[in-house]
Structure formats: structure tokens, C-alpha cells
Structure 1
Amino acid sequence: MTVQIFPSLRDVGKTKGLCGTLTNDCKDDFLKSDGTHFTNGDTARECNTLGLTDYSFQPDEFSFSWRVDEGNNLFKEEPTFDGNHWGANKQLCICRKDTNNVDGDEYIDCSSSSIVTCNREEEVKTPQTCSSFLKKTWSAPIIRRSRSKRSPYITSQELDKSVAWTEAEAIEQCRLFMDKSASFKLCKDVPNVDPTIAINTCVLDILLTNSTQWMINAREGIKGKCLAEVRVNATLQNETESGGASIAEIVKNASCINDCLERGRCENGSCICDDGYGGGDCGIDLSIPPIIYGMIDSGLCDQSLVPCTEAYIEGDGFTSEGRPNCRIKKFQISLIGSLQIENQSVDRKGDPSTLMTMFCPISSSTAKVKQSVQEPPFITGYRISVSNDGLNFGEEEDMFIFNSTYQDFTVVDGKYQFSLKSGFCFIDGDPYLEGTVSSFDVCRVCLPGKSLTEWSSRADPECRVVLKSETTSGLGTGAITGIVIGGAVAIILVSGLILWKYKSARPKRFNSKVSMHGLDNETAVTMQRDA
């Protein structure tokens, strides 16, 4: 990873140590991290008297004093932190008045004792709102996966040099490289801008690294100083050549980041990239998919907190040039863990909000998954890959939509396993709290102790007939009802047959009484003769 720090105009004269050159005083350039100074014969001289040879010395004591110790190294595989954590809530820095300053200047305070909890929602696209973050009752696990390291970024062309560069060769190479830049040529004539500084820095980088990959940094550094000068120099803003644009306007219009890496043209200070390239400096090859680090919350989205209508992809190399697309395939997981994946995927236009983030719309993105088994879906998810050109897609990432009200998850061997929380039933694809009565049958109720996926019978007196029938037959409500009705009809027919035969044999008058004592008791038929 290359980290570049670009100071603003307000930083001039206010830096020390590693960035001390902005004060134009070499003595504070060598301030060590502990507040003491590194001194020797070279550091005592004024900056403008140091030449290329003077810069070649290596102040190791000064350099090593700024090295980050392992305990606070954020770029380790599994970084540790030896300070006090600030808690899980999103927090904001605050502005304070400097009571020690007579002018009462304000300063930003980000210390752990001064931060405040986020209490407002911004009108911008964000993966989560502050309110949803604060309501969150679960923590996303860290799941490490091996990922492709192919980068879409175009690196500076490296000259093949198997032997060490000489100073003469380095000077010649740097001059040729700088003179290829139209903006560098214009900056040569800007007051207070010395192009030899860029040449010397370029040469020193080559000699120290035996590489040409840092040449572009030296050129961009002098261009930055040139642009800062034309912004504050009123004379350059007013002067014109042949009644045309001012010198400041000409310089700004010709100054594009990295000179568009020779893969585009510079117009009004912005790069117009050639086909197949994108980014602010045309430094992204659109045919190579962006680097994907994962999704926010490790791919989990809690429907009890947010709508879950977009996937928030984290990575590097996203750009709005070309055709940023998301390829989405829906899948479903049943309560017993069976996976059903949609055969077809759909492409949706992605929204690359920054170089490192992209939003993918997933609401109503695909048709329903065809049910190959009887279990209803317990978890719905989306398998998502992204592209900068709409043709070449990268690795897939899974997004799982769940509801923390009644669903829980664990991670086993780097994979999610979802389960139903205690006190809930999951019947016909819907969750029910223990004790919930079925809206279709008042004698049915959610009893997780008896069944997680089916309605259980109530033991109330009015439901005892149904309960008795269930116990003896094990059949459903519809089957039991049919048996009861059929049994009643059979009893009536049998009774009628008996009466008919009795009348045929004994033609005397008589009365009959039929008693049915419950569905499971025998039917008692009592005959009383009327003498």
C-alpha cells in the first residue's frame, strides 16, 4: 500500500518532523517523535543551501523514531491495539475553544474523553443510519477469505534496469520524463517555483531505489506547488497573453492528475480518458474488475433495523466511467439448512459512491427461486459480483438478509449457520411467538416445545374433541372432521336398517332413542317396546 499525504495551503509554516519542509527551516525538519531534535552537521544548514549530494545522507536515528510500533500497526494481518477502545457507537469529534490562546482559536478534539455520540442522520447515501447502528444488538464477525489480488490500477511503467543507475543516467531520465509534461513546462515560468527541485528529488529517488516508479511523485509535487502559487498570485491571475486566458487559468487548465497517465487528454484540469480506462487520472483499467474486500457487516443485513434493499460493497478501484454493474443471483436457505440457488442472474447498474465503495440495488432484483423441496425459505440471500465495464465481473460475495428479532447466527469453519431463536415457531414461512393462536383454527397454537414448524393442538376444554381425535388417530383436522361426519351418517343408516328389520318382524308399535356419547365412545342404541 502506498500512502500519500498532500498538505493544504493552511498547513504551510505549521508542520514539523516528517513534514517539516513546509516551514522552510531545516532545523525543525528533523524533530523526532519524542519531541527532541536529531542534529549533525548536515541538519544545521538552511534548506536552500542543500543540494543533491547533501540530501544523500541517511538520518536513521530520525527516521526510525517515527516508525509505528507493532502494537499500533493498522496494516498487520491481525492488528492489536494497546490503547482504550472508544466503544461500539458511531462517534463524532467536536470543536473546542483554545482557552490558553488569547484569540480563542477553535481546534478539533477527537480524544476519547471528548467525542460525542452520533445523534443525527445525514441526507447522504450511507450503508446504515446512526439510529439503526445504535439499535444493533449483534456484532458482525470477521470472516477472512482468500481473494484475488489482481489490481485494476495501472502502475507507473518500470524501466528495465538490471544494474545500478549512475547519477548522470538518472538526471537525463528525469529531465526527459519531466519535459514530456505540458503542465511541468508551464510551471517553469511561474515565480517562486524551482523546477530543479523536482529534478533533484526524482534523481535521488532513482539512486536510492534503483527504480523509476517514483518519478511521477516528484513531478506531481512540483505541480502542486505551482498550482498553489497561481492561486495566490494576483499578477498571474490578471495577466493575459494576446488578450486570452490568464497565466493562472492556462496552468490550471493544463494540470491534470498524473498527466492522465498518457491514457487520456487533459481538458480544463480534468482527464477525459480513452476507451477502456477510468478514474481521475485514467489509472483504472476498466476490463479488470474492482478489488473486493467484502461487504459491510460481513454480508449480514438485519431487516429489523434497515430495509436491506441495497448491498454495500467495500473494495478498491470502483469508478463511474464505463458501465459499473452488479450481477445478482438470489438464493434461499431453509430452516434445516438446504440451499436453493436461482439458475439465472440479473445485472443492475451499480452506484460507485467513492473509489472504495459501491452500492448495488437488490430490491425486486430477481424472480422467486423455484422450490425444489418442500421446506419454506428461512433465509434469503444474494450472490453479488461487480464490474467496471459491465462485461468482466469479479469474485462473488454473499449477502444474507435475516431478522434478529427471531433469527440468530453462528460462524462455523468460516461459514454462517442460521437458527431460530428460542420461544419462536417458523410455520409455512412465517415466524410466530410462542403461544400465538392460529388465525385459521383457534384450536391450533405455536408451541416450540412440541413442534417448531407445525401448529400444535390446544388443551382447552372446547378443543378436547379435536385433541382426542389427534391422540388416537394422528390425523389432521380435515381428516378428523371427515371421519366424524362419516361416522355419524353410518350410525344413522345402521339405526334405520335395524328399525326397519324390527318393524318387519314385530309389527307392533314402539319408540326408539339413539344416544351418541362422544366421537370415540361406542354408540348406544336403546329400544323400548310400547306394549
Structure 2
Amino acid sequence: MCHTQFGTSFPRLTIPCMGARSNGTVVSHDNAGNNYLFSFPSGTQVKIEKSGGGLNVYITTPEDDMQATGGICGYFDGNPDNDLKHSDNTFSIMPKNGRVVDDNFVNSWRIKPAGSSIFDTNFFTVDPSLDHDMYYCKCDRKPNGTLADCTVHGNVAQPNVQVLLPGATHQNPAQTCRNPAAHTRTANTILPDDYPSDYVFDYGFSYVPILRADFPSEHGKSRRDAETACNSAIDQNPILQQCVLRAGLDFVSEKGNCVEDFKYFDNGEFVRGNMLSAITKCVFYVLNNESFYDANGNLPAFITSDLCPAYDCNTHGTCSFGRCICDAGYVGDACEIQSSMPPALYGIVKTTWQTGSALCDVTERMCETSYVHGYNVFDNPRLSCKVEVLNFDGHGFVPSGNQFFTAAIYRSMYEVGCKLPLKSTIGGQTIVAFNISITNDASTYSNAVLYVRTDTRCARCIKTGKSCSVKSGTCLIEGNCWIAGETNPSNDHQLCDPSTNSVQWTNAETKVSHTTPAIAEIGGTNLSRFDIWTFSQSGCPCAHNHSNYSCACCDAGGCQCHDPFQNQCTQCGTVANCGTPQPALENGIDGYTNFFNDCTCQYDTTKMNCACCQHGVNACQCGKEHRNQCVDCSHMEQCGNKPWIFGHAITDP
């Protein structure tokens, strides 16, 4: 939630399918995905509520857990003075205003060492003194539907009243959770696209809070400014006015929390969050106090029929008998969507453990649906995706000119899935990239985010998907992987020959070989060459005719120029120099290296005998053993790939 992929906070439900779940566990959530309520058969409830830039978490325990809890949420025993008990049984003093800013208390309950979280193991030890039996009432409707058999399991304690969650839908995880094994194509390791990749507990060992001693705030706001904003938000709220008048509650601690938050976020982002926290406090209090129920078991209107989603319709509408009447320009159950603006996307929901990865590997997942993160997504019949196809050009991905409009799978206003074009509609390509954007109204679209479908059997791509290289002994031809010696299914006379060309078929009958120069002396040899991106001016298949081997062979990072300059290569992604060769040595050693040994070494800045890299081509020095060479910073594995120019690895200091 707080540690989401793109630095935003919103609830996201993950139900791992491999473990058992309690029957009767119910998950409720609003359509926008801002609020979740987890109800367990024991009576325990956990409510997650997005509020401004953060999340509020509320835990309700049944009376069976009385005097049987412990940890960072305190002790459920009716004594607030021991709630700040550390894991070593020492205590911090509870502040009078209820505002807890105690790093020592929080850190005492930090999970350590890594791997000891219950999220990381199937076995954990419970303090026997806290291990109470669970008792609850189970009511099952009989098959004829006329009677309900309520059997008391254990004692006769009254179950907790379910907390209201306006506009919620419900699901039973045991019924809706799907087994990934049911979705495999060729092996049981292939996961469905909606299977979580980031179900890894974040211990936060590196997090060090930066505390502000007192006001003024970062932007010069005073404590009086904070108190005015917080008191006004809480005191003038009509629901909270009823809570004070009819329930006798005060909200001193919520106001104190609000002021403390204002010290760090003085744009008012957390003012509303504390107001919502106060409303939740009131709702809990009324629900659990039977004196507020009338003779028919009905609750007062101010927390039922008068209570709207988000309580105040996100300040973009008017609450009328439990329903939001949105202002012009806003839609949604809680007026949470700005209808005049398209969605905005942060990026794709990662499918690997790597943060910021745009890759989906077909050896691990189906890669048929891309899930994207963003905001302002509206669930309606016109919600859809635009998918632009990009083809692999030997180094990166370039627009193909094809685009598709596909169905969207709504998850929340922050996350949506986009169906990708079938392989049969894009030339049967497996390794391909897509620029994905979404629309609420089939008219205005979001920004586009990149999604790369790759195959690690032959492709090695950087995590951003901006460039890829072909692994040794394989070919990446027409968007698919081939092993050396495999023939073209459409032409028995063509085969994968990585030594000739790893991105195009080699004609077995008319193959023209080119000769690799002799290995250079240690330290490199100055070779005068036709062009710094061109290995030879002929001997490789032409881009316009794969059966014609009279076209240029390119260095790593170079791509063949188009007709009539097919005997020259230029840096992939640009055609500016086609027709105007850049001879070596006048323009450097090769496309990435300018000089062998006249620059400061990056591995040891006290030395001045390392290569000078070309500018403007994302070039980086190789390490100590190949210090006379520069390569593409995204493909450092290419160091040492041109021994006829740079020689063998350097072994001297």
C-alpha cells in the first residue's frame, strides 16, 4: 500500500492462492478502490481507507481477543496506559493529546531479521498467553430457504456488528481466488498476468524518518494556521457535529494528529484525512453502543442513510440521503473522478521483482494482458485501451504503424488491465513492445506507457525496455527466438546462424562470409575503417531483401541504412549519417570509443590510461580488463567483443 511501485499510496488487494483461507472471510470494497473492509469469521475486521496522500488503517477485534493482543497496535485490555509497551516489555508514556511520535516504540516492533515476517514464512510462533480459542456464531440457511440454523460454536458471545462501508461490493476470497496452475499454457511455471509479482514483505530497514521539531512548516505556515485549518474541518463537519451533540464525543486527538501532520504537509492534504478518521471513530462508537439503536434495531440516520461514500463526496458534490450528487465535471459514486480530464498513467504494474521494469517474460507469464497504474480511471462502458505496436529493429523497438483498440479490465480508479493484440494479428511476433494508453470516454486518451513482451531464451533487455541484445548462440528473428541451426519454418533453405547474423535468417546456400581481422595487440590497434558503425560493407542480408547478402554488416549498436545506402551502418534509431560515412580513425575508434587511453579511469580516478568515450551515444568505459574500450552503457556485456580492434583483456595494473 504505502510502498507502491510508483510512490503513491492506495489500497491494493492481493490474495495469494497457494494458502488456505478461512471460510466466511468477506472482502468489501467500494468501486473506486479507495476503501476496503476485511471481515473474518472470528469477528475481527480490518478497514483500509485512502485519505489524501496516505492510508488510514482501522482494526476491530472481537471480545474473545480481550487481553489477548500485543504489538504496535497496543493491548486490548481497557487500559490505555500500557499501549506503548515495547517488545522488550519496557514502556513509553502515552502523551495526553493521544498523538504518538515515538520512534523507539515503533522500532522495537520492527520485524527483524529479514525473513521472520509471517508474510515470508508458513510457520510462526504465537505467545501461548495470547492464543485464545476462537468462538463465533455460524448461521447457514437451510436448502428450502425458509429457516436458518444458527449454531453457536463455543460460547454465546454476541458477534461484532459489521462496520458500514457505503457503496461496497463483497466477495469471498475462497470462491474467487484462482489457481495459477489452471491457466498454464506449456508448463505449470507460466503464471497468469494478474498474478502478483511483488508479494514480498518490505522491511524498510533503510527508512530513517526526518522529524520536524516544531513550526513553522516547510512553506512557512504557523501552528495557528494548522490549528485553524484542522479545527475548522472537524468542528464544521455536520456529521461530527451530530457526534458531539448526540454521542458526547470529542475529537481532541484527531485535531492533534491533524496539526502534527500539517507540520509536514501544509497544503492541507492530510486535513481531510484526519476529518475522515474522526468520522470513522464516531461510526465505530455508535455501531458498538446499543443505546443508539431504536426499538426496531435501526441506527440513527446521521451514520446510515445520511452517510455518503467518502462521507463528503470528496468535496466535489452534495450528499443527499446517502447518495452523492456530483458537481459539474465530476463523476463516480463518491465524485472522485474528474470527467473533463483523461486518465493519467504512471507505468505498467511490474511483472518481475525488478522495480521500474517494463518487461514481461513469456517464459514466466502469459503476457497477454498488461496492467497499468495511474489515477482518474472511471468504470464505465467506454473505458478502453489504445495499444500501439513497436517492432524490434535489432537494438530497440520502433513504431510499426499498427495500433489496436482493446478491452479494459477495471480494477480500481488507480489500476486497469489492457488486453494485448493476439500474436496472429501482429505477424506472429512474440518479442514486441506496446505503447499503451487508456480512455474514459473513447475520445481523450492518457499518456502512453511502454510494455515490452520479451523471451529470455534469446533476448537480454534492460529493465526499461528501451533496448535489447541477442544472447550468444541464438537468433531473434521476426520477433521470435531461434537456436543456432534451426531452420526457417517457411523456407528450408534458411537457418539461424548467429555467427553471420543474429537478427535475420541466413541463406544456407548463398551465404557470403566475411573475414574477421586478426586479433589486435594488447592495448588495441588503430584500424582505418570505412565507418565507425560498419564492420564490413557487404556480406550480410539486406534489410529490404533477406536473401541478398550484399549489404553492410554492422558493429554492435549499429543498424543497416536503407536503400540506396545499404552498404553503410549508422547508430540504431537514427538515419542522420546515412550517405555520409564517419570514417575511423578521423571520427574515433568505433561508434562508442574515441581514443584508447587518454582519459581518467572511472574504476580508479587516479589513473589516466583509460578509453575516452564518444559523446551523445550513451557510452561508458569498460572495466579494468578492457579499459581501452567503451560500449553502450545499457549493454556492458559487450566489453571485449571486438578483439581485432581492442585486443585481448589487459592484465597489467
Per the shorter chain, which TM-score range? 0.5 to 0.7
1:523 — aligned with what?
none
What residue identity is the alignment partner of 2:275?
Answer: R
| Partner secondary structure for residue 66 of structure 1 | helix
Q: 1:386 aligns with which of 438, 441, 461?
A: 438
Conservation of the 8 A alpha-carbon contact between 1:387 and 1:393? yes
1:282 and 2:335 matched: yes
Conservation of the 8 A alpha-carbon contact between 2:190 and 2:365? no
For residues 273 and 125 of structure 1, the distance between their equivalents in structure 2, rounded to whole angstroms, comes to: 37
1:195 — aligned with what?
250
1:83 and 2:114 matched: yes
1:360 and 2:413 matched: no
For residues 194 and 188 of structure 1, the distance between their equivalents in structure 2, rounded to whole angstroms, comes to: 5
| Partner secondary structure for residue 254 of structure 1 | coil
Aligned-pair Cα RMSD in Å = 5.4
Q: Which has the higher helix share?
A: 1
Conservation of the 8 A alpha-carbon contact between 1:379 and 1:400? yes
1:313 — aligned with what?
372
Cα deviation for residue 36 of structure 1 reads 1.0
For residues 413 and 238 of structure 2, the distance between their equivalents in structure 1, rounded to whole angstroms, comes to: 27
1:327 — aligned with what?
386
CA offset digits 1:64-104 (Å, max 9, x no partner): 442599xx89xxxxxxx973599xxx977569887667855
2:42 — aligned with what?
none
CA offset digits 1:48-67 (Å, max 9, x no partner): xx9xxx539x987x444425
| Partner secondary structure for residue 228 of structure 1 | helix
For residues 347 and 486 of structure 2, the distance between their equivalents in structure 1, rounded to whole angstroms, comes to: 43
For residues 269 and 78 of structure 2, the distance between their equivalents in structure 1, rounded to whole angstroms, comes to: 27
Cα deviation for residue 353 of structure 1 reads 0.7
Percent identical residues: 15
2:648 — aligned with what?
none
1:31 — aligned with what?
85
2:470 — aligned with what?
419
What residue identity is the alignment partner of 1:261?
Answer: N
For residues 126 and 342 of structure 1, the distance between their equivalents in structure 2, rounded to whole angstroms, comes to: 36
Cα deviation for residue 260 of structure 1 reads 1.3
2:358 — aligned with what?
299
Cα deviation for residue 361 of structure 1 reads 1.2
What residue identity is the alignment partner of 1:83?
Answer: A
| Partner secondary structure for residue 358 of structure 1 | strand
2:544 — aligned with what?
none
Cα deviation for residue 224 of structure 1 reads 1.4
What residue identity is the alignment partner of 1:328?
Answer: V
| Partner secondary structure for residue 282 of structure 1 | coil
Conservation of the 8 A alpha-carbon contact between 1:328 and 1:382? yes
1:222 — aligned with what?
278
For residues 88 and 469 of structure 2, the distance between their equivalents in structure 1, rounded to whole angstroms, comes to: 51
Unpaired runs of at least 5, structure 2:
1-8, 10-52, 136-172, 192-196, 199-218, 352-356, 511-546, 548-653
Conservation of the 8 A alpha-carbon contact between 2:460 and 2:469? yes
Q: 1:184 aligns with which of 237, 240, 246?
A: 240
1:253 and 2:305 matched: yes
Unpaired runs of at least 5, structure 1:
44-49, 74-80, 107-119, 142-160, 370-375, 459-477, 479-531
Q: Which has the higher strand share?
A: 2
For residues 318 and 128 of structure 1, the distance between their equivalents in structure 2, rounded to whole angstroms, comes to: 31
1:117 — aligned with what?
none
Conservation of the 8 A alpha-carbon contact between 2:92 and 2:105? no
For residues 248 and 28 of structure 1, the distance between their equivalents in structure 2, rounded to whole angstroms, comes to: 34
For residues 254 and 136 of structure 1, the distance between their equivalents in structure 2, rounded to whole angstroms, comes to: 49
Cα deviation for residue 301 of structure 1 reads 2.5
Cα deviation for residue 180 of structure 1 reads 4.2
For residues 237 and 417 of structure 2, the distance between their equivalents in structure 1, rounded to whole angstroms, comes to: 36
Conservation of the 8 A alpha-carbon contact between 1:291 and 1:315? yes
What residue identity is the alignment partner of 2:410?
Answer: P
Conservation of the 8 A alpha-carbon contact between 1:33 and 1:66? no
Range with greater deviation from structure 2 (287-296 or 410-419): 410-419
Normalising by structure 2, we get a TM-score of 0.46
What residue identity is the alignment partner of 2:451?
Answer: M
Conservation of the 8 A alpha-carbon contact between 1:328 and 1:347? yes
In structure 2, the CA distance between the partners of 1:91 and 1:454, relative to structure 1 (3 Å rule), is farther
Cα deviation for residue 290 of structure 1 reads 3.2
Q: 1:232 aligns with which of 278, 284, 288?
A: 288
What residue identity is the alignment partner of 1:135?
Answer: T
Q: 2:449 aligns with which of 397, 406, 417?
A: 397
For residues 95 and 364 of structure 1, the distance between their equivalents in structure 2, rounded to whole angstroms, comes to: 45
For residues 351 and 94 of structure 1, the distance between their equivalents in structure 2, rounded to whole angstroms, comes to: 36
Alignment of 1:330-349 (within 5 A): 330-334=389-393, 336-337=394-395, 339-343=397-401, 345-349=403-407
In structure 2, the CA distance between the partners of 1:126 and 1:403, relative to structure 1 (3 Å rule), is farther
What residue identity is the alignment partner of 1:66?
Answer: V
Normalising by structure 1, we get a TM-score of 0.55
Conservation of the 8 A alpha-carbon contact between 2:331 and 2:338? yes
For residues 459 and 316 of structure 2, the distance between their equivalents in structure 1, rounded to whole angstroms, comes to: 50
Range with greater deviation from structure 2 (123-132 or 3-12): 123-132
Conservation of the 8 A alpha-carbon contact between 1:20 and 1:29? yes
For residues 445 and 173 of structure 1, the distance between their equivalents in structure 2, rounded to whole angstroms, comes to: 73
Q: 1:55 aligns with which of 97, 104, 112?
A: 97
